[in-house]
Structure 1
């Protein structure tokens, strides 16, 4: 099912969620490289410096220090060449309709996905 993505960036502070999501991404051959950042701040720095050039980002919403929406505010400030190729999927366990609505209104969010990610969801994203 390899979509042709070169680099997928997974941003989530939860080690277990990262482990599970990464395994599902690897087993589906979703991307050549899967980079995991447990901090949205570290992820922004990695994108800003060019250390990571993601085609796809799976972004958790609820994280300490910098949440998903704060990440998006910082992401918006990046130069266009650092962000132009990225699709961002909000990957969250939040059931709050306000979070879903706010995600839908953000110009960078392609889709809000409820955790856990599944093979079926990845197939739909690749269709």
Structure 2
């Protein structure tokens, strides 16, 4: 099965969550390249300077320093082509406000509850 995406960026501060998510993405041949960063600030910097050019991003909601929604505010301000980038909010948050904010955000394709599963990957919006 061919990979669906070329470059996947995983933004999450939790090492265990990153390990599990990466293994699931690799096992499903989800992307040719998977880059993991443990802070939203690092992701914004890499996106801004062109070090990372993802076509899909998995973004955690709650992270120290800059959370997922703060990332989206800065993401909106950086000058890159965002037209082909899908962002999936990946979180263990059960807060209805987080889900509503992600639904209302123009960059978020879908809100996915952690842990990421093979089934959830298969059900992602096309």
Which residue does 2:31 correspond to in 1? 31
Runs (5+) with no aligned partner, structure 1: none
Once the two structures are superposed, residues 50-94 of structure 1 have per-residue CA deviations (whole angstroms, 9 ceiling, x without a partner) of 00000000000000000000000000001142x222100000000
Q: How large is the RMSD of aligned CA atoms in angstroms?
A: 1.2
Query: C-alpha separation between the residues in 1 aligned to 2:105 and 2:125?
Result: 21
* 1:78-122 deviations in Å (ceiling 9; x for gaps): 1142x2221000000000001000110000000000000100111
TM-score (norm 1): 0.95
Q: Which runs of 5+ in 2 are unaligned?
A: none
Alignment of structure 1 residues 30-109 onto 2, 5 Å: 30-81=30-81, 83-109=82-108
What is the rounded CA distance, in whole Å, between the counterparts of 1:4 and 1:118 in structure 2?
16
- Separation in structure 2 between the aligned mates of residue 106 and residue 38 of structure 1, nearest angstrom: 22
2:3–2:32 Cα contact (<8 Å) kept: no
The alpha-carbon distance between structure 1 residues 68 and 110, as it changes in their structure 2 partners (threshold 3 A), is: same
- In structure 2, do the counterparts of structure 1 residues 126 and 33 end up closer, same or farther at CA, with 3 Å as the change threshold? farther
TM-score by length of 2: 0.96
Q: Is the 8 A contact 1:3 1:126 kept in 2?
A: no
Large movers: runs of 4+ above 2 Å: 1-4
- Larger helix share, 1 or 2: 1
In the alignment of these two chains, the number of paired residues is 126
- Residue 92 of structure 2 contacts residue 114 of structure 2 at CA under 8 Å; is this kept in 1? yes
